[in-house]
Structure 1
């Protein structure tokens, strides 16, 4: 329906799918894991030295572990059953994968810090962000195939840059022209700083009565 076969890069179609769909899933799963971490009003926070940062880190690492294990199993199955996997630059693809996870964690941290204040709005934002990224992430097409006037529609999205860059590292005949990997790093660091500041502010004003309104 989307014509992805016609727009795909010459090479292994499974690698094309993995660098798009799996990176999208890793980003979204990381965001959801951090957003679902224990908040400052949780009963678990009454047990020192437990705090929200420990809960957030454990949720984020658990998401990374599950996604990495799933990726290894999928790639092993493809390599042994279908055809050998060939990646042009393993280190580059790995860095994009970790950046996809880290950026999801950073955005999730900002949403988590706002969740006690506007829980219904945050739930809606998470749903909209997840649905929008099914198209805006560019997981089913490559940036080089887009006409110039459409690039600004996707250029704001760090996941769009990561997926396109990962395909540049994965395939030796694809060279991204409209994306870079530095932008997602800046976005991740900015959201991480905002998220930590928001979490600190929220923890200082945590109230048990918040739980009654959720």
Structure 2
């Protein structure tokens, strides 16, 4: 299958963001490990804040537009002109339940697709997790009304970790493996698979950390 990637302009922007974030320790979402069976894990995640924008177009157009809007907010386009630290990983999730395993992929923000009505343009939600030091009350408010802040509740998720370069076929293969493991443990999925990427595009294959994560019933 063809690899789904952002435009060169969007990749340049991603590189700039990741270089800026590499000068400090990168925070990851907090979770408690409930069960581990290499390479699978069951995790209890703490609540998270995300910034998101909704855009239209094909994946390439949505990526570039979403990146610019989120990057502007992170780099100070907010009510107090405050720069917000980067976190990892970034999740990419499809809302099309009929093709829930077909995951659109890009970094460093999440892309969520909403199946459009007949004749309507493709719609996407581009999102990024905010550092845990912030709450809804303390996170700087976006100046751009397109950027929305949303609180995610505590959730339990199953995950499979793998290294190397990713492709849509690889993600589908790992998703199937995770779903089979969940079935063997009688763990019920309640959300679509999410692809999570922890490394910048220039990371060597053996140093890359990728995951497929599925929200499950407690």
TM-score, normalization by structure 1: 0.28
Q: Which structure exhibits the higher relative contact order, with contacts defined as CA atoms closer than 8 Å and separated by 6 or more residues? A: 1
Which structure would you say has the larger Rg? 1
TM-score, normalization by structure 2: 0.27
Higher strand share: 2
